[in-house]
Amino acid sequence: MSRNSIKILPGALVCEESKLRGDITIGSGTIVHPSATIIAEAGPIIIGDCCLIEEQVKIIHRLPFDQQNKENTTPVLIIGSNNVFEVDCTVESPKIGNNNVFESKCFVGNKVTVSNGCTIGAGCRVDG
Amino acid sequence: MELRDINYNKSDYVETASGNKVCRQTVLCGSQNIILQGKVIVQSEAIIRGDLANVKTGRYCIISKEAVLRPPYKKFSKGVAFFPLTMGDHVYVGERSVVNAAIVGNYVYIGKNCVIGRRCTLKDCCVIEDNTVLAPETVVPPFARYGGSPGSHIGDLPECQADLMVDFTRSYYQHFQPTKLI
């Protein structure tokens, strides 16, 4: 049973209609629009400052199928600051840097690491 | 070609005096800024962001499931401003489409899963195919068929497109009936 442990720092704006589940830390100045889904299934999610998470965005932290939890440490999904997640993108990447733009309906898979300043175009699918 | 009856659960939808049928499970933010002209169907899980700017639709529009109508924004040196989103009459927005356009004309058909980029202008009588991604600030001319990603002009439409859309949206509205308990 996962307990909801959501820490929202001052200055952040989280809409009531968004779905947050699991252990989530949301940095200051971040805005989470309604219908956004943030699920921290395999471990905590830490979202940096001044991020913009628009509607229907799914940020899901789940373990990939082939990797068991051998090290006994819970992996953390870290998202940097100043990222923009546009409408209906799906992000499962375990490490995201700063100043990225994920345009509408893009998909970033489990095995992808995004560094700083990237733009994932609309509708693009970035798998392993 | 007659459309099939589409039944909905009567308790799920609110029918207004002007004939708008809005599902209760939609996310309508800023509803005072949203103007639905009349006989508009907004299906479940649709999102209309009236809190960012005014959203105005014409008559006989159909907003399918999980579509997102989001007013576009423009970045100025001093920040960001949201512009109103105006839609004409007889517009069909397909499922899961994201509409960030500034102006959508009359008789427009937007397919499923489309991304209409920021501040696009869709003139009257155009068709945006399913799964199209339109770049920001595209102007789609009348009677054009756009498709692909990036969206480009892939065909033309007959002059009767306006009548076809009127027929389509009117009969969709007529066949959108609550399930009758026998």
Which of B95, B149, B94, B104 has its CA nearest to residue B126? B104
B115 touches chain A (CB under 8 A): yes
Are the Cβ atoms of A34 and B70 closer than 8 angstroms? no
Q: Give me the mean pLDDT over the A104-119 stretch.
A: 90
Which of B12, B39, B108, B14 has its CA nearest to residue B69? B108
For residue A70, the model assigns a pLDDT of: 58
Quick check: B46 and B63 in contact, CB under 8 A? yes
Say whether pLDDT at A1 is over 50.
Answer: no
Determine the distance from the C-alpha atom of residue B82 to the mean position of all C-alpha atoms in its chain, rounded to a whole number. Answer: 19
| Residue in B with minimal Cα distance to A18 | B27
Alpha carbons B24 and B11: distance in angstroms, whole number: 8
| Site of tokens 């009127």 | B166
SS3 B93: strand
Alpha carbons A122 and B166: distance in angstroms, whole number: 31
Determine the distance from the C-alpha atom of residue A2 to the mean position of all C-alpha atoms in its chain, rounded to a whole number. Answer: 18
Say whether pLDDT at A67 is over 70.
Answer: no
Q: Which two tokens mark A74?
A: 């819970």
Alpha carbons A11 and A69: distance in angstroms, whole number: 35
For residue B178, the model assigns a pLDDT of: 83
SS3 A23: strand
Are the Cβ atoms of A105 and B49 closer than 8 angstroms? no
Average model confidence (pLDDT) across chain A = 85
pLDDT in tens, chain B (182 residues): 677 788 888 888 888 888 899 998 888 888 889 988 889 999 988 999 888 888 999 999 999 999 999 899 888 888 888 899 999 999 999 999 999 999 999 999 999 999 998 899 999 999 999 999 999 999 999 999 999 888 889 999 988 888 888 989 999 888 888 887 76
SS3 B154: strand
Q: Residue A69: which pLDDT band, with cuts at 50, 70 and 90?
A: low
For residue B2, the model assigns a pLDDT of: 76
Q: Which residues of A touch B47 (CB under 8 A)?
A: 34-35, 55-56
| Residue in A with minimal Cα distance to B150 | A122
SS3 A4: coil
Quick check: B3 and B175 in contact, CB under 8 A? yes
Q: Residue A3: which pLDDT band, with cuts at 50, 70 and 90?
A: low
Are the Cβ atoms of B27 and A34 closer than 8 angstroms? yes
Gyration radius from chain A CA atoms: 13
Complex confidence, ipTM: 0.80
Residues in chain A whose Cβ is within 8 Å of chain B:
17, 34-35, 54-56, 87-88, 103-105, 122-123
Are the Cβ atoms of B27 and A55 closer than 8 angstroms? yes
